[in-house]
Amino acid sequence: MPDYLLTTSPQMAKRHARHSRFQWYGRIAIAISISFMLLMFTAIFVRGTGAFQKTMIAVDVDFAETMIDPKGTRVEMDLKQGNYKPLILAGLQEIIPGVTERKERNALYKLVSGGAVFDLGERVAANPGMIGTTQRVWIAASSEVDLYVKGKVDVESEEAVRRLKDQDIDWVKLLQENGRVKRKFNQVFFTKGDSRSPEMAGILSAALGSFFSLLVCFLIAFPLGILTAVYLEEYAKKSRMTNLIEVNINNLAAVPSIVFGLLGLAVFLNFFNLPRSTPLVGGMVLALMTLPTIIIASRSILRSIPQSTRDAAMGLGASKTQTTFHHVVPLAMPGMLTGTILGMARALGETAPLLMIGMVAFIVDVPKGVTDVATSLPVQIFLWADSPEKGFVELTSAAIMVLLIFLIFMNLFAVYLRRRLERRR
Amino acid sequence: MEKKMTEETSAQTDALAPIMTARGVDVFYGKKQAIKNVSLDIPENQITALIGPSGCGKSTFLRCFNRMNDTIESCRVTGDIQFAGQDIYAPKVDVVALRSRIGMVFQKANPFPKSIFDNVAYGPRIHGLSESKDHLAEIVVTSLRRAGLYDEVSDRLDEPGTSLSGGQQQRLCIARAIAVDPQIILMDEPCSALDPIATAIIENLMESMKEKYTIVIVTHSMQQAARVSQRTAFFHLGELVESGSTEAIFTNPEQERTQNYISGRIG
Ligand SMILES: Nc1ncnc2c1ncn2[C@@H]1O[C@H](COP(=O)(O)OP(=O)(O)OP(=O)(O)O)[C@@H](O)[C@H]1O
Ligand SMILES: [Mg+2]
């Protein structure tokens, strides 16, 4: 065999070396990006999973009529606002004897969540028969106790820098010994809105706010974007006007999102007087922001549909519109949907424009429609990350997880739609 | 004796009523002129071949007949083209109706990415040619039969048209064109991407289609023109150099350029 055919010949060896070197560069690059991603996900996961569980304390509460409903009217509003604090405190004092001083009593009461009184009020309002009985109820622990039970408080550190004092820790230990502390699934996180105390704060308000905003964004941006792209690509004659429009669309895609927020503030809120802080306006602003992306993506997809497809339909006597909507658009639809969903995924993560139109408010109520005040997932993450209480740290990570899950579902939905549309051909 | 005379003359002078006539046709792409003052008659129920070197404007001229050039923004057509005595570039002519009378088969087979059935059924559907589902199915089957494809695909009409072989795809395109029942079928190098066997099948097909349709075919293959066509027109640099009966063009061309091309000296 002649030398030059062998892999060991100098020329060939050099080529092979270059080949394998390049392969290694690629592999290393992939490994680095994957490890960064893993690092990010584990960090979020490790910090965030705690938020899905919360600590509860069992207290025997004497639901005395004199404290809850002294007039005996049993009106729901009154029952909700009954004086439950002394009842809970009394229950706690029973378990932990010897707490009499005012200061100590206050410290003891701080073991349970500040929202516990509202929780009890709601339970009693739902079941007024409880009044006059003594019952063991599981009450949410305060955020500090919750963190301690989850092992996230450094008990070795100096007492002065801790919010949970040595005495509090002794009390919690006593409660634990009595089997009065347990951890359960944190339902509140998925069913409630924001709160000042971490243990009462939930993501639902923000998640629904994001959902409604994206819904509005989709309903506006998708048809507008697709129709614009189809018109510009299939119908419009090349002229100075279409050139101008094209340049402007490209420029708009590069405009920082906060500018769209300012525009929304000036036009939608101040001029049209649409309701502030609502998903309706948020969605409209996000639609403005996503529109250029959708148009550009759709146009490039339309351009990639071969001319022969159009010729085939036109040659059979299909009109321009029939050609476009029977053949070109269906072929382009999977790609256009992908473009739209990518644009919307970006919109889902946007904070800046929403701040401008007031979707940054402290929202406790869960929005029921597009005109209710709401916030959105990224804004909520921003708000929680900015809060001083330690309990919000896990909530922040948990909210990021919810946001990521949202994104994953959107992408899966895009893949599903694409598959379905492609199969139909 | 006298009868024979008339037949011969008619073959030479187009006394046979032409179904399409082109008079003084110029075509421009922007400022560039691609067709220069071409006049040609297309006789009914015959096959007319357009031949000439690459880039001489055969496709451009062919696309004038069903106004496919309208789809190219920069393209402008002047002159007079008549179909059955009607100026097809007159403002009141509807291109959609025109193209349903004058079908087209392209160089590269371009079936829709839909089922074989839907490919053929699309034309009848948009033109409302079928009264019922059964009637539509009948049109599809007849068209596939005429295009000589039915036996090969009868058991898989719901498979995508793009899954067929190149030659089958081209016959599917022919079936699709036939399905709207046109009078004329324009073919732009329909066999250029096919092997000799698939080409022979399509050539036979054209031979049998001639009874019902008028065919205008652009071809690069002189043999093909000689085999299938009755009339031949030779184009060079956007001009119509010579046209006449195929036999006359190939055996006894009047122009030197034709002679040179046929003998392979211009290409
Ligand atoms: N869409 C177009 N825009 C601009 N010029 C064009 C266009 N299509 C064709 N031309 C020009 O018109 C002339 C004739 O082209 P045409 O396609 O009709 O040639 P043809 O004879 O069909 O060639 P071929 O045998 O290679 O297919 C060529 O010079 C070509 O460059
Ligand atoms: Mg051509």
Looking at CA atoms only, how far is residue B7 from chain A in angstroms? 35
Q: Would you place residue A404 in the very low, low, confident or very high pLDDT band (cuts 50, 70, 90)?
A: very high
The mean pLDDT of A74-93, rounded to a whole number, is 86
Looking at the domain assignment, is residue B253 inside a domain?
yes
* Ramachandran class of B148: left when φ > 0, alpha when ψ lies in -120 to 50, beta otherwise: left
B56 within 8 A of B238, measured Cβ to Cβ: yes
Looking at the domain assignment, is residue A394 inside a domain?
yes
* Residues composing chain B: 267
Question: Do residues A389 and A241 share a domain?
Answer: yes
Instruction: Report the domain count for chain A.
Output: 2
Question: Do residues A119 and A238 share a domain?
Answer: no
Q: Would you place residue B240 in the very low, low, confident or very high pLDDT band (cuts 50, 70, 90)?
A: very high
What integer pLDDT is reported at residue A424 of this predicted model? 60
The mean pLDDT of A165-169, rounded to a whole number, is 88
- Residue A57: give the domain boundaries: 52-185
Give the 3-state secondary structure of residue A96: coil
Q: Tens digits of per-residue pLDDT, A177-196?
A: 988 999 999 888 998 888 88
Q: Would you place residue A74 in the very low, low, confident or very high pLDDT band (cuts 50, 70, 90)?
A: confident
The mean pLDDT of A266-279, rounded to a whole number, is 90
Q: How far apart are CA B37 and CA B202, in angstroms?
A: 32
- Residue B203: give the domain boundaries: 2-115+184-262
State the pTM of this model. 0.82
What integer pLDDT is reported at residue A361 of this predicted model? 81
Looking at the domain assignment, is residue A415 inside a domain?
yes
Cα angle: A362, vertex A366, A367; to 5 degrees: 100
Question: Do residues A225 and A181 share a domain?
Answer: no
Looking at the domain assignment, is residue B240 inside a domain?
yes
Q: Write down the ipTM of this complex.
A: 0.86
CATH of the domain at B258: 3.40.50.300
Looking at CA atoms only, how far is residue A223 from chain B in angstroms? 24
Q: Would you place residue B5 in the very low, low, confident or very high pLDDT band (cuts 50, 70, 90)?
A: very low
Looking at the domain assignment, is residue B159 inside a domain?
no
What integer pLDDT is reported at residue A387 of this predicted model? 87
pLDDT for residue B95 is more than 80: yes
What integer pLDDT is reported at residue A68 of this predicted model? 84
Please report residues of B whose CB lies closer than 8 A to that of A315.
Answer: 66, 68, 99, 103-104, 106, 177
Of A5, A413, A387, whose CA–CA distance to A211 is shortest?
A413
Looking at the domain assignment, is residue A96 inside a domain?
yes
Looking at CA atoms only, how far is residue A315 from chain B in angstroms? 6
Looking at the domain assignment, is residue B105 inside a domain?
yes
Specify which residues A259 forms β-bridges with: none
Give the 3-state secondary structure of residue A270: helix
DSSP letters, B200-258, are HHHHHHHHHHTTT-EEEEE-S-HHHHHHH-SEEEEEETTEEEEEEEHHHHHHS-SSHHH
Residues from A contacting B (CB-CB < 8 Å) are 237-238, 306, 308-319, 322, 326-327, 331, 425
Dist. CA B188 → ligand 2 center (Å): 7
Q: At what angle do helices A377-385 and A204-230 cross, to 10 degrees?
A: 140
* Nearest atom of ligand 1 to the alpha carbon of B63: 18
Question: Do residues A303 and A339 share a domain?
Answer: yes
Q: How far apart are CA A139 and CA A146, in angstroms?
A: 12
What integer pLDDT is reported at residue A21 of this predicted model? 94
Q: How far apart are CA A139 and CA A181, in angstroms?
A: 10
Cβ pairs bridging A and B (under 8 Å): 64
What integer pLDDT is reported at residue A1 of this predicted model? 61
Pocket residue to mutate for ligand 1, from B26, B33, B35, B58, most atoms within 8 A of Cβ:
B58
Lowest average pLDDT, out of A244-248, A304-308, B45-49, B191-195, goes to: B191-195
pLDDT for residue B235 is more than 50: yes
Question: Do residues A122 and A215 share a domain?
Answer: no
The mean pLDDT of B90-97, rounded to a whole number, is 91
Q: How far apart are CA A354 and CA B53, in angstroms?
A: 64
Contact yes or no for A315 and B103 at CB 8 A:
yes
What integer pLDDT is reported at residue B40 of this predicted model? 95
What integer pLDDT is reported at residue B141 of this predicted model? 95
Give the 3-state secondary structure of residue A215: helix
Q: Would you place residue A49 in the very low, low, confident or very high pLDDT band (cuts 50, 70, 90)?
A: confident
Question: Do residues A57 and A150 share a domain?
Answer: yes
Nearest CA in chain A to B176: A316
Looking at the domain assignment, is residue B141 inside a domain?
no
Give the 3-state secondary structure of residue A137: strand
Residue reference for tokens 């306006």: A281
Q: How far apart are CA A99 and CA A93, in angstroms?
A: 6
Question: Do residues A159 and A130 share a domain?
Answer: yes
What integer pLDDT is reported at residue B205 of this predicted model? 87
Q: Which residue of A310, A314, A327 is in closest CB contact with B99?
A: A314
Looking at the domain assignment, is residue B179 inside a domain?
no
pLDDT for residue A23 is more than 90: yes
Both tokens assigned to A378: 């990224």
Q: Would you place residue B192 in the very low, low, confident or very high pLDDT band (cuts 50, 70, 90)?
A: confident
Q: How far apart are CA B174 and CA B235, in angstroms?
A: 25
CATH of the domain at A301: 1.10.3720.10
Looking at the domain assignment, is residue B134 inside a domain?
no
Indicate the average pLDDT of chain A: 89
Specify which residues B40 forms β-bridges with: B22
The mean pLDDT of B201-209, rounded to a whole number, is 89
Question: Do residues A240 and A351 share a domain?
Answer: yes
Question: Do residues A171 and A209 share a domain?
Answer: no
Q: Would you place residue A165 in the very low, low, confident or very high pLDDT band (cuts 50, 70, 90)?
A: confident
Nearest CA in chain A to B187: A315
The mean pLDDT of B52-57, rounded to a whole number, is 92
Contact yes or no for A316 and B66 at CB 8 A:
no
What integer pLDDT is reported at residue B11 of this predicted model? 42
Q: Please name the residue whose Cα sits nearest to atom 9 of ligand 1.
A: B60
What integer pLDDT is reported at residue A401 of this predicted model? 93
Q: Please name the residue whose Cα sits nearest to atom 22 of ligand 1.
A: B59
pLDDT for residue B4 is more than 70: no
Looking at the domain assignment, is residue B37 inside a domain?
yes
Quick count: other Cβ atoms within 10 Å of Cβ A107? 15
What integer pLDDT is reported at residue B7 of this predicted model? 42
Does ligand 1 lie within 6 Å of residue B112's CB atom? Answer: no
Q: Would you place residue B16 in the very low, low, confident or very high pLDDT band (cuts 50, 70, 90)?
A: low
Beginning with the edge strand found earlier in the chain, give each strand of the sheet holding A53-62 in spatial order: A134-140, A53-62, A181-185
Of B111, B106, B107, B124, whose CA–CA distance to B160 is shortest?
B111
Does ligand 1 lie within 6 Å of residue B72's CB atom? Answer: yes
Q: Would you place residue A166 in the very low, low, confident or very high pLDDT band (cuts 50, 70, 90)?
A: confident
Residues A285-306: b if buried by 16+ CB within 10 A, e if exposed? bbbbbbbbbbbbbbbebbeebe
What integer pLDDT is reported at residue B6 of this predicted model? 41
Instruction: Report the domain count for chain B.
Output: 1
pLDDT for residue B8 is more than 50: no
